[in-house]
Structure 1
Amino acid sequence: MTTIAEGISPAPQTTTPATAHEKQVATKSMTIALGGGVALEWYDWTVYGMMASFLSPLFFPSTDPTTSLLAALAVYGAGFFARPVGAAILGPIADRISHKRVMMISVTAMALCSLLIAVLPGYKELGVAAAVILLLVRLIQGLATGAEAGVANAIAIELAPPREEGRYLGLISGTFIQLGVFASSMVAFFVSASVSAETMHEWAWRLPFAVGGALGLLIIYLRSKLPETLIKHVMHRDELSRTRETTGDVWKTLWSVRLSLLAVILVVGAVQIANYAWNAGLPNLANGVFKENSTWVYGITTLMGVIWIVTAPFVGAFADKVRPSRAFTLLRLLLVACFFLTLAYSEKSISTFFFVMVFGGAIVGFNMALYNFIATTLMPRAVRTTGIAVGYALGVSLFGGTSPYLLVWLQHAQMAWMFPVYGSLIAVLSVVVYHVAKKRGHVYIGD
């Protein structure tokens, strides 16, 4: 197993090691602050997807409901395309200067933008400007959160006890992610169940965004209490080459491990196609096209989220036991078959929706619990934040952000079969490229 990228030299250690008790206390507080920010990011991204069918006629009015929904989902996807830019700008800052500053920028932008969406007037009040402002808000969120995944995963892998990396990353990038997803569907469920359908369409869809903004203020407070130098007091491993001197050095090092970067993009991208299909595409298809009962739709989506939360740590522990590469390969190949379950939901049927969301969604959840860990193992310490941030942002923007739009559009165009074929091909490609990278020594942790 390769442990360091070629040409990287070790940096001197100048800090006094922390005691076991100090590490334990610091690890707990950092886990809550890190995981809370990750959960908030996923809450805000998911809640927009869930509310797209309600905000679409208010911001993108049309005589065809599907046309309005596709416009709202296009804005949903556009936010993802800003993330690689944010990752490219903020990733090197996190690797070279301060993880804390980048995390504070990210969570603050998410909170403020969610609050703005909650009060933003629609087309009747502002005309086309309403849609433009909504697009700009999503782009700002994308820019600010571009490095969030990279920072959180880079720190989490160093907080993880040796030989328990999968379990710990399952907690941070599995359980906390799913808590965010679960919270978004739970809030949507309670709001929908508490008001009439007319009220939901008129204004109640704004409430989940207001909740996201309020939760963001809490996470801002928690992260403000973290030490400026996040890792040095608590990390369980002493990897060489902790930083690069300049931003140019960061990019040169990242280029030297470009095969790893490609693997990260595909590892992230394939599972995000499924994630956003199940959390945004299918619920919006149910609400906006098939006109299912929205309370039932959100209730079923919430149940799926519970399954994800409960199973995430066990999936990580399973990976620790059988080796991450084997667990990844097995679960990713199961995902290939899972994609074809989307073909079953081709007309209004809440029972079919339940089957696809719960049973297919369980397989998606298993993959969601593991992908961040696998992506993190592919990057050397010196550029881990930048590499994960850029790879994650490209994978999510190219594949995840477009997934709900493609699912709904292909269904509308009578070409639904193309979606599972597309998802399956990317999933298989992610396995192939990962194993090529592994064979060439580009797995740095845990295997």
Structure 2
Amino acid sequence: MNTAQRVRGILAGSAGNLLEYYDWYVYSSFTIYFAHSFFPRGDKTAELLNAAAIFAVGFFMRPIGGWLLGSAADRYGRRAALTISVTAMCLGSLAIAICPSYQQIGLLAPIVLLVARLVQGLSLGGEYGASATYLAEMATPRNRGFWSGFLYVTLVMGQLLAMIILLLMQYIFLTPQQIESWGWRIPFFLGATGAVLVFWLRRQMVESERFEKSQEKKEKGGLAMLVQHKRAVLTVCGMTLGGTVAFYTYTIYMQKYLANTLGFPKDTATLVSSASLVVFALIQPAFGALSDRIGRKPLLIYFGVCATLGTIPLLSALSGVHSPWAAFGLITCALFIASGYTSINAIVKAELFPTQVRALGVGFPYAVTVSVFGGTTEYIALWCKQAGHEGWFSYYVSACAAVTLLTVLTLKKTTTLNETTDHTA
């Protein structure tokens, strides 16, 4: 496979990954505008809690998606699994876009919202394992960390694109009343219509050579073989726990924290969150390239130590800010810490498993952990606020980061992607 084919494959996979995560994060970006459309009108925090609960429930389909699409990727190819994944995600977006409000159809509205999010959760559960595996197998050993950073570049760009659309609507095209009335449906329509282009791009992707060689040797994978890699599975869970909680805290929850707790206007909260995400996306390849030079483990230790010791003072300082610039600075600082995990976690996990079980090995335990901890991060934060003890949340995030630190410290010096060069240590 030549360099051009390799780069085209990575870019095609990344484009689909961007749209997948755009569709997923449009929900959280626009929650403050559409929550009232799917639930009885009442207390603002209660409406957000209901919407956050469905956001969390959607995560519980991710293990099933990680298992089904991970198995499909290991059996039928990374390209086939990625194509199915993006199609399911966009069907979920279309259902949300056209769903009538609670005032029109009553309880059927939140039921449709729930089903749509379950479909999207299934899709995203398979997306991570398949795309991480594809990216790891397409990149050359010498710059695998650099290309790994692009997984979170596209993930963050999907989230950022959702916020940019919201900013354009807030500042240029629509009034707040129009967004709350019908404008929130527009980004869901955009995500659904993008499926046609992404479907075509992914059908044109070159299949991974490592997968094809594994097929030629008729190597079998599946859950039976995954059991033989129990240590690797537990490592994926431990690494993911603190990383996903930190990521969802400083990206997803921050927009609502700035608006609902600190009292920033909704458009200002969106602008601050968007600006910090731009910085976050730009530094991912740099952190990944650094790991190609010094190894993966030092960066993961950096994240574990800083997130464990720094979360409580960071969130405490953020709770007292009144300036958007101060909020931006503190959130960006937190995202620099998170980058020690986000930039390279996919490649480290992929390096733990052999080809015939790699997509399942990465995707399934990751999806289980994200479902239990990442998907509930926002809900736990809002619950602590409603209970009158918002400060408890910072201790929770710190404890989760400590689990990741302990896991990283036990990380073995092995890689199944490149036997001659150890990048994990």
**TM-score, with length taken from structure 1:** 0.87
* Per-residue deviation, 1:116: 2.2
Aligned CA distance change for structure 1 residues 336 and 233 (closer, same or farther; 3 Å) = closer
Q: Which residue identity lines up with residue 344 of structure 2 in the other structure?
A: L
Runs (5+) with no aligned partner, structure 2: none
Determine if contact 2:64/2:125 at 8 Å carries over to the other structure.
Answer: yes
Determine if contact 1:377/1:444 at 8 Å carries over to the other structure.
Answer: yes
SS at match of 1:438: coil
* Per-residue deviation, 1:99: 2.1
Correspondence for 1:304: 276
Aligned partner (choices 392, 411, 421) of residue 385 of structure 2: 411
Correspondence for 1:56: 35
Q: Partners of 2:388 and 2:218 in 1: how far apart?
A: 51
Aligned CA distance change for structure 1 residues 234 and 264 (closer, same or farther; 3 Å) = closer
Q: Which residue identity lines up with residue 286 of structure 2 in the other structure?
A: F
Aligned CA distance change for structure 1 residues 378 and 431 (closer, same or farther; 3 Å) = farther
Q: Partners of 2:43 and 2:373 in 1: how far apart?
A: 26
Correspondence for 1:25: 4
Aligned partner (choices 80, 83, 87) of residue 104 of structure 1: 83
Aligned CA distance change for structure 1 residues 130 and 288 (closer, same or farther; 3 Å) = farther
* Per-residue deviation, 1:414: 2.1
Q: Which residue identity lines up with residue 218 of structure 1 in the other structure?
A: L
- CA deviations over 1:131-183 (Å, ceiling 9, x no partner): 00100000011112321111111111111112221111112x13222221221
- CA deviations over 1:285-329 (Å, ceiling 9, x no partner): 333455521221111111111111211111001111111111211
Q: Which residue identity lines up with residue 388 of structure 2 in the other structure?
A: Q
Determine if contact 1:95/1:243 at 8 Å carries over to the other structure.
Answer: no
Correspondence for 1:343: 316
SS at match of 1:265: helix
Does residue 251 of structure 2 align to residue 279 of structure 1?
Answer: yes
* Per-residue deviation, 1:239: 8.4
Does residue 395 of structure 2 align to residue 395 of structure 1?
Answer: no
Determine if contact 1:304/1:357 at 8 Å carries over to the other structure.
Answer: yes
Q: Partners of 1:309 and 1:434 in 2: how far apart?
A: 23
* Per-residue deviation, 1:73: 0.3
Runs (5+) with no aligned partner, structure 1: 1-17
- Runs of 4 or more above 4 Å deviation: 238-243, 288-291, 441-445
Q: Partners of 2:330 and 2:191 in 1: how far apart?
A: 28
**TM-score, with length taken from structure 2:** 0.91
Correspondence for 2:167: 189
Q: Which residue identity lines up with residue 417 of structure 1 in the other structure?
A: G
Q: Partners of 1:372 and 1:63 in 2: how far apart?
A: 41
Q: Counterparts of 1:31-430 in structure 2 under 5 Å?
A: 31-171=10-150, 173-194=151-172, 195-227=174-206, 230-232=207-209, 244-245=219-220, 249-288=221-260, 290-340=262-312, 341-346=314-319, 349-351=322-324, 352-430=326-404
* Per-residue deviation, 1:55: 1.4
SS at match of 1:416: coil
Determine if contact 1:92/1:386 at 8 Å carries over to the other structure.
Answer: yes
Q: Partners of 1:61 and 1:221 in 2: how far apart?
A: 40
- CA deviations over 1:248-269 (Å, ceiling 9, x no partner): x521221111121111122223
SS at match of 1:203: helix
- CA deviations over 1:377-426 (Å, ceiling 9, x no partner): 22222210001110221121111110111112112212223222222222
Which shows bigger deviation, 249-258 or 312-321? 249-258
SS at match of 1:163: helix
- CA deviations over 1:342-380 (Å, ceiling 9, x no partner): 233447835353343232233224432222222222222
Q: How many residue pairs get matched?
A: 417
Q: Which residue identity lines up with residue 200 of structure 1 in the other structure?
A: I
Q: Partners of 1:334 and 1:348 in 2: how far apart?
A: 21
Aligned CA distance change for structure 1 residues 53 and 243 (closer, same or farther; 3 Å) = farther
Aligned CA distance change for structure 1 residues 370 and 37 (closer, same or farther; 3 Å) = same
Q: Partners of 1:181 and 1:206 in 2: how far apart?
A: 16
Aligned CA distance change for structure 1 residues 240 and 207 (closer, same or farther; 3 Å) = closer
- CA deviations over 1:191-229 (Å, ceiling 9, x no partner): 1212222122212222222222233332112112224xx
Q: Partners of 2:328 and 2:261 in 1: how far apart?
A: 16
